[in-house]
Amino acid sequence: MLDIGFSEFLVIVVLAILVLGPEKLPDALKDIARFIKKTKKMWRDATSDITKELEMEEMKEELKKYKDELKHLQDETKLPDINTPVDTFGSRDMKDFLKS
């Protein structure tokens, strides 16, 4: 992750002991560990939220595709309106049939 070697790490530890002193160093390390933990959690949450949003967008696009396909099929079949009475629909077809 940070890609530091043992010698760089040793220099950082020695500087931390010199700057903070041996009394404050454990508390400082705990604070740094808490900060890293919170940062990782925030990163995971943000990644999860972005993934969910992208999945929702994909589902919306797929739903729109199915909706358009259904509309196309309805237009293609030209089914009668559901409010049209059955006897009116049947008699119109029968009149057309008898004329031919």
Q: Give the model's pLDDT for residue 92.
A: 56
What number of helices (H) and strands (E) belong to the chain?
A: 2, 0
On whether residue 33 sits in a domain, the answer given is yes
Q: What is the mean pLDDT of residues 18-46?
A: 91
On whether residue 94 sits in a domain, the answer given is no
User: CA–CA separation, 77 vs 61, rounded Å?
Assistant: 24
On whether residue 96 sits in a domain, the answer given is no
- What would the pLDDT profile of 41-95 be if each residue is shown by its tens digit? 999 999 999 999 999 999 999 999 999 988 888 887 775 556 655 555 555 555 5
Q: Give the model's pLDDT for residue 71.
A: 86
User: CA–CA separation, 37 vs 43, rounded Å?
Assistant: 10
On whether residue 91 sits in a domain, the answer given is no
Domain count of the chain? 1
Contact in structure between 80 and 89 (CB atoms under 8 Å): yes
User: CA–CA separation, 54 vs 62, rounded Å?
Assistant: 12
On whether residue 89 sits in a domain, the answer given is no
Q: What is the mean pLDDT of residues 3-25?
A: 85
On whether residue 100 sits in a domain, the answer given is no
User: CA–CA separation, 89 vs 81, rounded Å?
Assistant: 10
Query: Which of 4-8, 20-24, 54-58, 81-85 has the weakest average pLDDT?
Result: 81-85
User: CA–CA separation, 74 vs 42, rounded Å?
Assistant: 48
On whether residue 26 sits in a domain, the answer given is yes
pLDDT class of 34 with cuts at 50, 70, 90: very high
Structural domain containing residue 52: 7-79
User: CA–CA separation, 16 vs 12, rounded Å?
Assistant: 6
